[in-house]
Amino acid sequence: MDSKKILEIVKKWNINYTPEFRGFRCAKCQKKMHKAWHIWLNEGGYKIEVHFCRKCGKDIGLK
C-alpha cells in the first residue's frame, strides 16, 4: 500500500463542505458502497480515514 499514491487521490477530491448523511464512497472512483476498505492516511498534513472499493483497493496494493 502506497500512502503517497493515496495522498494524490485525496488531493484530487472535489470537497463539498455541506454536511452529508450517506454511506461510504470510494476515494478514487466515487462508487457508493456498504462495505469498503478503510485506510488511515497520515501524510502531507492529512489525518483521515479513506475508503476504497475492491477494484481501486487492488490498484493501491490491497488484496
Query: What number of helices (H) and strands (E) belong to the chain?
Result: 2, 4
Least distance from Zn ion to the Cβ atom of residue 45, Å: 24
Among residues 28, 36, 50, 51, the one that binds Zn ion under rule CB under 5 A: 28
Q: Which three cell numbers stand for residue 57?
A: 483497493
Q: How many CA atoms lie within 13 A of 38 on its CB side?
A: 6
Q: Is 36 in the site for Zn ion (CB under 5 A)?
A: no
Number of residues that bind Zn ion (CB under 5 A): 6
Distance CA(20)–CA(5), nearest Å, equals 26
Which residue stretch of 6-14, 15-23, 28-36, 43-51 sits at the interface with Zn ion (rule: CB under 5 A)? 28-36
Q: Is 9 in the site for Zn ion (CB under 5 A)?
A: no
